[in-house]
Amino acid sequence: MSGTIEGTMGSENSMQTLGPGSRGPAVADVRAALRSLGLLPPADGVPDDVGAEVYDRATELAVRHFQQVRGLSVDGRVGEETYRALSEARWSLGDRLLHHDPERPVRGDDVTNLQERLLELGYDAGRADGIFGPETETGLRTFQRDYGLTADGTCGPATLRALRQLGRKVTGGRPQLLRQSASFVDSGPHLIGRRIVVDPGHGGDDPGCTHGETTEADLVLDLASRIEGQLAAAGATVYLTRGRHQDPTPAERTGFANDARADLFVSLHLEAHGSEHARGVASYYYGTGSGTSSTVGEKFADLVRREVTARTGMLDLGGHPKTWDLLRMTRMPAVRLDCGYLTHPVDRLLLLDARVRSSVASAVLAAVQRLFLPADADPPTGTFVLPGRV
């Protein structure tokens, strides 16, 4: 039973979303995963017919709980992302051999755990994202060499023993993340040579959220073009992930940013809500809310949201860690900015005003600039104007 989810996920790129009322073998897989994580009570014996298992209220609550603690969007339904997270959560360090497979990268909580241990010991294993990539392999090989193990880049019993013996004696560093911060400051205050990927959400046949004729897809594309213009004028090299008629998948968007070797990735969305009182600007960065996070991403999420709210008067809804694919699969600091509610009358009016959209673009420029400035030269929020620009 334990291999079922992994097996199903490997072969499929798209799956039907499961939710209340769904039934069948896929529901049985999900419930088995939730049971093994202790989120559902154990089954009484083996079910006679897994096809008859139903996505009941208890399943929904367990899924919501799982989504909450994993930093996923909490909707109580199991789409691709939640399904994969469930399958990854079932692996503990030592359950299997870990190594770099370029064809089909190994993913799981055991990989996160390995990466975190290497990082704590001062080895650059890449971001602790639960994906065993080339950086993790390099970090692991260096560790193995230093500790007199066979430097084969595979985490097996001998390597695990060494890691366990070292235990948590060495802590408090997250040196690689600190280094990541430092190298950003070292790179100097100018944006020349910086590559920034701006990702307008949705597009093509997917309008995103809408209000009358107004669509999120159009507005964020307009915002992205304004941001592109301002950043380019400041010397940065800017790429947009889509044009008007395209709607790339999250994998295509993040692949594009990785291929472009971007220094920073900014995804733009707007929000909508059933209540017309919901309003404001939120930002998201990679993290689980329990330790694993991207410090540069978190800092940029904070800067950009504060700049936008200071310049537009929109409500500040804070910055939040998420494990969304978009934030996780990007190899550079990545932030998603949800820039106001189309369903809120004032937010909407602001977003429909081209001058306000230009202010948002200036806010993003200022935030990018502040990210590269040393802390003591950091100007107050809402005031920074690039030299030579108005």
d(CA 109, CA 90): 7
Report the residue number whose CB is nearest to Zn ion: 269
Q: Which is nearer to Zn ion, 269 or 299 (CB)?
A: 269
Helix extents (H) in the chain: 4-11, 25-36, 57-70, 80-89, 109-120, 134-146, 157-166, 175-186, 216-233, 250-259, 295-312, 325-328, 345-351, 354-372
Q: Which is nearer to Zn ion, 18 or 217 (CB)?
A: 217
Q: Which is nearer to Zn ion, 253 or 299 (CB)?
A: 253
d(CA 361, CA 308): 8
Minimal distance in Å, beta carbon 213 to Zn ion? 17
Q: Which of 100, 141, 194, 269 binds Zn ion (CB under 5 A)?
A: 269
First to last CA, the chain: 64
139 touching Zn ion, by CB under 5 A: no
Minimal distance in Å, beta carbon 202 to Zn ion? 6
Q: Which is nearer to Zn ion, 201 or 287 (CB)?
A: 201
Minimal distance in Å, beta carbon 216 to Zn ion? 5
Minimal distance in Å, beta carbon 377 to Zn ion? 35
Region 176-215 residues binding Zn ion, contact defined as CB under 5 A:
201, 208
User: Residue holding tokens 């994906």?
Assistant: 131
Q: Which is nearer to Zn ion, 203 or 287 (CB)?
A: 203
Minimal distance in Å, beta carbon 242 to Zn ion? 13
Q: How far lies 205's CA from each of 271, 296, 320, in Å?
A: 18, 33, 29
Q: Which is nearer to Zn ion, 299 or 357 (CB)?
A: 357
User: CA 286: distance to chain centroid?
Assistant: 4
Minimal distance in Å, beta carbon 309 to Zn ion? 19
d(CA 101, CA 84): 18
Mark the segment that binds Zn ion (CB under 5 A) among 2-10, 103-111, 231-239, 263-271. 263-271
Q: Which is nearer to Zn ion, 154 or 246 (CB)?
A: 246
d(CA 162, CA 70): 29
Region 62-91 residues binding Zn ion, contact defined as CB under 5 A:
none
Minimal distance in Å, beta carbon 137 to Zn ion? 35
Query: At 287, phi and psi to the nearest 5?
Result: 170, 160
- Which H or E run contains 269? strand 264-271
Q: Which is nearer to Zn ion, 208 or 319 (CB)?
A: 208
Q: How far lies 74's CA from each of 40, 79, 81, 277, in Å?
A: 17, 11, 11, 20
Minimal distance in Å, beta carbon 286 to Zn ion? 18
User: If binding means CB under 5 A, how many residues of this protein chain bind Zn ion?
Assistant: 3
Residues that bind Zn ion (CB under 5 A): 201, 208, 269
